[in-house]
Amino acid sequence: MWGKARELAQMAPPERNRWADFLRALSILAVVLGHWLMAGLYVDDAGELQRGDLLTTSQWAHWLIWGFQVMPVFFLVGGFSNGMSWDPTLRKAEPGQTGVYRNWLASRVQRLIAPTFPVLLLWAVLAVVMTQVGLDRGQIRDATEAALIPVWFLAVYLLVTACTPLTRKAWKRFGWLSFAVYIPIAMLVDWLTFSVGVEYINFTNFLWVFLAIHQLGFAWRDGRFEKPLFAFLWFVVGLAILISITVYGFYPVSMVSAPGGFSNSLPPTLALFALGVAQVGLVLTLEPLGRKMLENLSIWTAAVLMNGMIMTVYLWHLTAFVLVMTIVWIGFGGMGLNSVPGTGEWWASRPLWLAIYILALLPMIAVFARHERSFGPIRGGRTVPKVRVVFGVLLICVGLAATAAITIASPESLSGIRLWVVALPFVGAALLGFGPIYAMVKRDPQKGGAAS
């Protein structure tokens, strides 16, 4: 895998923004490490397995989330790459040509949804089997919920990506105003949620907050952050606002779960918005140094390698965690789980546990990373009708959102799963024209390179 990545790294054109690729890989790795570090099962004095986490036992650890909750960085890179992709698509389109947006969106969706199908299918089968053999349904739910919670991000990212033609047009016409408009909207949503008590409206912030960060990706793509001092000012302002509304304000410092069930991320709040602005300013301030660093072929190769398996790592890392915990609890009687998260003994054991999680993840990478684009179009290049594209994307997003929110495990059904939740992403993909056709990578025997 390293040799192939090195070949691809050497073929990258000089004008490619390597910092964008590096940030994409870094953001996912930060999320993975954060999940593995924060989660902590332990065995209590009575010999019972307890669900614990670092944030509950260590107040100071809430500050760590400012470095680990980096989904805004991924949306920044998403805006950059979607702008880079959509602009030439429009330029190449012939006057009066139809289906440009539909084909573009279908290709973007396919790259994200293809790696998701195997993990959904695996856990659907596991949930059915575990139910039929009589395992406790609460434990089945906990396992499926823990393993599949990462798919919430895909539902939001697909919706934001689908808006690209409109948001890109808004950026070209209104510039910074197309970003600024989301600030009062996010503030209004939080006010309606926390002051007025309007239910469910806070979920709209999944769109407003991440659409705003996505707009900053357009600004980056168009060179509006070229001066490091300008980017640094964004960092300072974002950080100042974040501190004022968390340390001295209403919002908790933690960007994920906090005492009382409050979460700044699920759904996003103004605090996560401010964190995103600060993170954008920081990573773009560091861009000149980062691009110089990536001139080193080994570092650039590592970034290319990670980007080639990025969705597999993200989607399977919690499956690896659940697998390890299950084996340790059932097979070894909870050996090594006798320290409460946050204690000195617990911290001393983290390097070993992280190494075990990585070893558990490696076989999943070996099996599934090569097929990150394994579900290809099956319509012979014909344009998919517009209504099918829109409806297909919506079904995929609803299915993924439901998977993360209520899990695929069912406490009542005989099968043990919510079939409609599992089915929705597959039905949506079918409407888009995707099927289980493996697009295997073929090697050019003369050049030894990859040809798709």
Tens of pLDDT, residue by residue over 38-82, are 877 788 777 777 777 788 888 888 898 999 999 999 999 999 999
107 vs 47, residue with greater confidence: 107
Check pLDDT > 70 for residue 438: no
Integer CA distances (angstroms), 294 to 95, 123, 210, 264, in order: 40, 38, 27, 33
Cα diameter, the chain: 73
The answer to whether 268 and 190 have CB atoms below 8 angstroms apart is: no
pLDDT digits (tens, 9 = 90+) for 310-338: 999 999 999 999 999 989 888 888 788 88
- List beta partners, residue 190: none
Distance CA 388, CA 372 (A): 23
The answer to whether 171 and 178 have CB atoms below 8 angstroms apart is: yes
pLDDT above 70 covers a percentage of the chain that reads: 91
Give the pLDDT mean for 181-197.
95
Lowest mean pLDDT, pick from 174-178, 331-335, 402-406: 331-335
Give the pLDDT mean for 254-273.
85
- This prediction has a pTM of 0.89
Integer CA distances (angstroms), 54 to 67, 201, 239, 322, 340, in order: 15, 30, 24, 17, 9
Distance CA 144, CA 403 (A): 9
Please identify which residue in the block is written with the tokens 């946050």. 342
What one-character DSSP code corresponds to residue 94? Answer: P
Give the pLDDT mean for 280-303.
95
User: With bands split at pLDDT 50, 70 and 90, how would you rate the model's confidence at 341?
Assistant: confident
CA angle 72, 75, 81 (to 5 degrees): 150
Structure tokens, 259? 């005492």
CA angle 171, 176, 178 (to 5 degrees): 50
What was the pLDDT predicted at 382?
Answer: 54
Structure tokens, 285? 């301030």
Lowest mean pLDDT, pick from 26-35, 114-123, 435-444: 435-444
